[in-house]
Structure 1
């Protein structure tokens, strides 16, 4: 770095440097501030979306408790259309799919569950959707599609249910030995009354 004999020389050198680099410094500062403001703005938007979605989901839960089908469908549609990126949308659609299944509208229930699979970022929610969709597909005699839903491994919390559905699928396909093995695996991670229920299924297939 150059050395300057007087303060005046330092000032003049600084002025010269600023003439050459000042615009770049200002531009960099503006970009930095803009990036910071953009990041903060994005966070604010995300928080606002989550808060609004949470409030709507509370209405969904109330509709479920009161068996208010119209409110459930209306509020779930709002979450799907405007808050799809939030976890509340997928949770609401799971409620919707259950209600549609109970009404016997399995095609609409399947569509709802596929929406969850395509939009949810939560593994737990995805697993629930996969298991429910597998049951619906099997009941609709779409055996291969049902098998695809439970073809990959799931976390320990869902292993028993997944293996039970695999067993049901093997029974539907007439593959009894594979069904026995699936039920045996399901019992290994089941608990309480679930073990007895699975044992009954297993016993019905013979020794």
Structure 2
């Protein structure tokens, strides 16, 4: 019995020695891995806090610059937007670039504003931001450029599958009207008016354009009623039925 106890104690000592030896070999790696995990979590949390604080700072700077612009101190606002575009966080530098282009237009530098919007469009990987910049450029060119200038920028945006097609068609219609192509302008405006997804605001605008063009005699209002269209369709069907027997052998 005593021998069993001795052997058990010796066995436990051997196990303890082996565990200590194993720990000496792998312990540093286990501790290192734990420290690394803690460090990664700490860095991630620190970066999240830093990114959030930077975004909050950029948001405050953008708001302050917009307030400055609203106060008509355009030179100071331009400087604030320049600083935000250079050092801002997240998407705020892009917003600052849009605001800078808008300020140029507001100051009467339409050529500079168009160039700024075009540069924004060329630099954007985000399709919608690129299209927004092109629409802003085209909006200015409706007044200062040619129909070709407008169409070259937003012609593809006016396609049926583009969510911004209604604004593009409105601007193209205005450019067509300015160029004297009244029928083309009418078609563009009616495309907007007949779009089931068009919002009330843009519907009201294009309806106003069409009413003004009609009152000025630039386009002839289609006075054909639904009843007349239906009667013509019935007549065509009747004529077709009467002609059918004659065609049989």
* TM-score, reference length from structure 1: 0.73
Using the TM superposition, give the Cα deviation of residue 46 of structure 1 relative to its aligned residue in structure 2, in angstroms: 1.0
Equivalent runs, 1:47-58 vs 2, <5 Å: 47-58=52-63
Aligned residue pairs: how many?
Answer: 199
1:93 matched residue in structure 2: 97
1:146 matched residue in structure 2: 153
2:113 matched residue in structure 1: 109
Deviation sequence 1:87-108 (CA, Å, 0-9, x none): 3333333333222113221232
CA distance, structure 2, for counterparts of residue 127 and residue 168 of structure 1: 18
Name which of 3, 13, 29 aligns with 2:18. 13
Paired residues of 1:131 and 1:149 also in contact (CA < 8 A): no
Q: Which runs of 5+ in 1 are unaligned?
A: none
Paired residues of 2:78 and 2:103 also in contact (CA < 8 A): no
1:199 matched residue in structure 2: 210
Paired residues of 2:172 and 2:185 also in contact (CA < 8 A): yes
Using the TM superposition, give the Cα deviation of residue 42 of structure 1 relative to its aligned residue in structure 2, in angstroms: 1.8
Structure of greater Rg? 2
CA distance, structure 1, for counterparts of residue 51 and residue 157 of structure 2: 33
Name which of 165, 168, 180 aligns with 1:162. 168
Paired residues of 1:53 and 1:88 also in contact (CA < 8 A): yes
2:191 equivalent to 1:182: no
Secondary structure of the 2:200 match is coil
CA RMSD of aligned residues (A): 3.4
Using the TM superposition, give the Cα deviation of residue 80 of structure 1 relative to its aligned residue in structure 2, in angstroms: 0.3
2:74 equivalent to 1:69: yes
Equivalent runs, 1:37-56 vs 2, <5 Å: 37-56=42-61
Name which of 63, 82, 85 aligns with 1:80. 85
Using the TM superposition, give the Cα deviation of residue 68 of structure 1 relative to its aligned residue in structure 2, in angstroms: 0.9
C-alpha spacing 1:176/1:195, structure 2 compared with 1 (3 Å) = closer
CA distance, structure 2, for counterparts of residue 65 and residue 37 of structure 1: 42
Equivalent runs, 1:24-35 vs 2, <5 Å: 24-35=29-40
* TM-score, reference length from structure 2: 0.63
Per chain length, whose mean CA-contact separation is higher, i.e. which structure has more relative contact order (CA < 8 Å, sep 6+)? Answer: 1
Deviation sequence 1:51-105 (CA, Å, 0-9, x none): 211221222121122111112101100110001x433333333333222113221
